[in-house]
Amino acid sequence: MARFFRKRDKNRGMPPGSLIFIGSRKVEEIIVTIFNYDNEKVTIFPLDDIREAAPYRTSPEITWINVDGIHDPDVIKNLGETFDLHPLLLEDILNTGQRPKLDDFDSCLTIITKMLQWDEGSRKIISEQVSIILGDTWVITLQEQPGDVFDTVRERINKAKGRVRNCGADYLAYALLDTIVDNYIYIVERIGEKVEDLEVLILNNGGGHIPTAINALKQEIHFLRKSIRPVQEAILKLTKLETPLIEETTRPFLKDLQDHITHACEAVDTYSDLLSDHFNTYNSLINNRMNDIMRVLTVIATIFIPITFLAGIYGMNFDYMPELRWKFAYFIVWGLFLLVIGGMLSYFKKKKWL
């Protein structure tokens, strides 16, 4: 399946709000996990049926419902009915090629984003869609498969580290977004290291594989930009949004998050420009090297033209060639050759052609 775009043949011509999964199934069974906590205690347990989460919609504690696997439209439909979610929101959740965005509904806020991870083996970015839904006292996260970047948030909830256990659901949503953005920065730094290493290889005449390496990094940077640029727009919109779901005490953290995502986007643009400069530098070095080679070959050819002419004259079959009978004629001709070569080399150096 294409990395940049998802085919949408399944829902072509369907009415808005149709629940059709678009993407590749990445997990056999959907796993639902509940984190229910306040500043004194935390409870973690799985759910067999998403409809069993209905009591947590009005729970006084903070509830985080994490869903691993979004391939079953019936489960997503049940989730929407349980938490009174808009059909268009459910449609976006099922479309794994959805552009990251922020939606403000009557009872909740939704941020659809991309969770990125760097695969060192393939040297490529792996993308997964994550939907974060914020309600009054609850947060729902929906992922394509188990395994994410939220382990630090889970640890802070379990061990009561930081502010998360003393704040509302809006701070939990911020903490999840902040973890995703921090991972963006980590990936940008990894790619930046490879871009800078590539510069050293180019200057040290690294070899013919450099254009392939540049193109591979360019593709990853374009994919990274496509993934995180809309997230920057969504977070900017979130910081300016007037909604009772976000407390004033959380807004400074959202502005800090905006700074982080802006830093990541600027770094992506910088490394993209650097790769273009690297490619131009590589081509310049190749052209200079080719010019040096052509200059040497031209000098050699230019030197051999006059001595070839002299050798042709000397080797012609005339009956009367006075030099042919001379005892030192052969050495005289070689001396003439060397004199011509030395004279031409001196002339080239004087003209600064060498």
Two tokens at 221?
Answer: 């940077």
Short-list 186, 226, 205, 202, CA closest to 276: 202
Angle of CA points 253, 95, 30, to nearest 5°: 85
d(CA 343, CA 282): 37
pLDDT of residue 206: 61
Task: Encode pLDDT of 212-235 as tens digits.
Answer: 888 889 999 999 999 999 999 999
**pLDDT under 70: residue ranges of the chain:** 1-17, 206-208, 313-325, 352-354
Q: pLDDT value at position 293?
A: 76
The domain locations on the chain are: 9-284, 285-350
pLDDT of 174-220, one tens digit each?
Answer: 999 999 999 999 999 999 998 888 888 887 876 668 888 888 899 99
> What is the rounded distance in angstroms from the CA atom of residue 143 to the CA atom of residue 136?
21
- At 284 the three-state DSSP class reads helix
Sequence-distant (6+) residues with CB within 8 A of 66 are 32, 33, 34, 35, 140, 141, 143, 150
Beta pairing, strands 31-37 & 138-143: unpaired
- What phi, psi does 321 have (nearest 5°)? -125, 100
Q: Which helix (H) or strand (E) holds 181?
A: helix 169-203
Architecture of domain 9-284: 2-Layer Sandwich (3.30)
pLDDT at 289: 78
Whole-angstrom CA distances from 199 to 4, 123, 196, 282, 314 are: 27, 18, 5, 9, 55
- Within 13 Å, how many C-alpha atoms sit on residue 331's CB side? 3
The pLDDT of residue 20? 87
* Cβ proximity of 86 and 105 under 8 Å: yes
- Identify the H or E element spanning 347: helix 329-350
From the CB of residue 237, how many other CB atoms can be counted at a distance below 10 Å? 14
Q: How many helices (H) and strands (E) does the chain have?
A: 7, 7
Rg (CA), the chain: 35
All residues at 6 or more sequence positions from 126 whose CB lies less than 8 Å from its CB, including other chains: 116, 117, 118, 119
Q: CA-CA distances (angstroms) from residue 95 to 23, 29, 80, 102?
A: 7, 18, 15, 15
What DSSP state is assigned to residue 3? Answer: S
- Looking at domain 285-350, its CATH architecture is Up-down Bundle (1.20)
DSSP E strands, 101-192 = 101-104, 109-119, 124-134, 138-143
What are 173's two structure tokens? 């949503």
Distance CA 62, CA 37 (A): 5
As beta bridge partners, residue 34 has 45, 65
